[in-house]
Amino acid sequence: MEKIVTDICIIGAGPVGLFAVFEAGLLKMRCHLVDVLPQVGGQLSEIYPQKPIYDIPGFPVINAQELVDGLMEQIKPFNPTFSLGQRVDELEKLEDGSFIVKTFEDTEVHSKVVVIAGGLGCFEPRKPAIENLEQFEGKGVSYMVRNPELYRDKKLVLAGGGDSALDWTIFLADIASEVTLVHRGDSFRGAPDSAEKVVELAQQGRINLVLQSNITAISGNGRLKNVLVVDKNREQQTIAADYLIPLFGLTPKLGPIADWGLNIDKSAIEVNTIDYSTNIEGVFAIGDINTYPGKLKLILCGFHEAALMAQSAFKFVYPDLKLSFKYTTVYGVNTF
């Protein structure tokens, strides 16, 4: 188990979570960020890294990834620490008012303040509608490739038509004894090089390519054994499989945060707009994850929320100090 002690635990390393580090840093508060994704940037890096954003003040246009890179540079002086690829699970409030945030991956973050900047929630794998799919999770069904060696000399079925399905098909073709890629469409629109390579591998007989087909059922006795595939003419075929890896991208879900006793309205956390505090003292929610009358889900609104949150969080981190508001133009960015 990894234990981290900090002033503020920020859940979510999207643009608003990152900027919160800056605002907290100006007030000498240290931050640790936790994010379920393996990289920082949240939706910007995961969904639209190359898309332009036009409503960031001072930037007539900036690419999503460039904004994330800029924010990382801006907060560097404050030495934030990160637990990436980790999903928050539990929030525990201790008697002294501080918090322990626990992740599924067994990290514990002890902090005086918790800031939830979780966007639309945790990005989780999109699951195909197969009736007993969850029954086989961890028993042959997984939604990502963590350790390719697990598949050595095994029979694999991958499903999906995006870049990730193509790339893993190519990679695992050299490792598994048999690889079948099932795709709903009749062609691939992912990276042309990868698509070409997959077709080539199929022509060489090194993988089985099953196009215009969907997986409709899976079966096995405790462990996955067979995958039933149906094509557009309703013809069925059963494929023997040790593993099924559906690769249909990620979709956000609120996840365990929903069970922390926070006031929630339509998957968003209700906050007081004075400082974006929640109904749990010491827990704040900023960015797309919060809701209040007039809420706009804009990055720039999240930045504003981060600034106000930090002023209030100061009282929890330094209860004996008086806070005096300072401009960066007068005092600069004093790091620690």
Partner 1 sequence: MIIVTVEDQKGRIQQLEIPEDIDLNLMETLKTFQYPMRATCGGMGLCADCHCRVIQGDNLLPEQLDQEIMTLEAVPESDYDSRLSCQIKVGRAISGLSIKLLGPAE
Q: Which residues bind partner 1 (CB under 8 A)?
A: 43, 47-48, 51, 120, 126-129, 159-162, 183-185, 188-190, 214, 232, 246, 248-249, 251-252, 266-267
> Which of 3/126 has CB closer to partner 1?
126
CA-closest candidate to residue 9, choices 96, 105, 116: 116
Q: Coil, strand or helix: which one is 247?
A: coil
> Which of 70/162 has CB closer to partner 1?
162
> Which of 27/133 has CB closer to partner 1?
133
Q: Coil, strand or helix: which one is 53?
A: strand
Q: Cβ of residue 161: shortest distance to partner 1, in angstroms?
A: 4
Q: Cβ of residue 82: shortest distance to partner 1, in angstroms?
A: 23
> Which of 15/25 has CB closer to partner 1?
15
> CA angle at residue 232 from 227 to 237, to 5 degrees?
30
> Which of 266/322 has CB closer to partner 1?
266
Q: What does DSSP assign to residue 129?
A: -
Q: Cβ of residue 166: shortest distance to partner 1, in angstroms?
A: 11
Q: Coil, strand or helix: which one is 248?
A: coil
Residues in the chain: 336
Q: Cβ of residue 156: shortest distance to partner 1, in angstroms?
A: 17
Residue 97 to residue 151: CA distance in whole angstroms: 47
CA-closest candidate to residue 93, choices 107, 110, 117: 110
> Which of 177/212 has CB closer to partner 1?
212
215 in Cβ contact with 243 (< 8 Å): no
Helix (H) or strand (E) holding 34: strand 31-35
Q: Cβ of residue 185: shortest distance to partner 1, in angstroms?
A: 5
Q: Cβ of residue 18: shortest distance to partner 1, in angstroms?
A: 19
> Which of 150/254 has CB closer to partner 1?
254
Q: Cβ of residue 47: shortest distance to partner 1, in angstroms?
A: 5
> CA angle at residue 138 from 228 to 230, to 5 degrees?
10
> CA angle at residue 250 from 201 to 303, to 5 degrees?
135
Residue 229 to residue 213: CA distance in whole angstroms: 6
Angle between helices 163-173 and 192-203 (to 10 degrees): 40
* Amino acid identity for residue 289 in this structure: I
> CA angle at residue 248 from 147 to 230, to 5 degrees?
105
> Which of 248/292 has CB closer to partner 1?
248
Q: Cβ of residue 49: shortest distance to partner 1, in angstroms?
A: 10
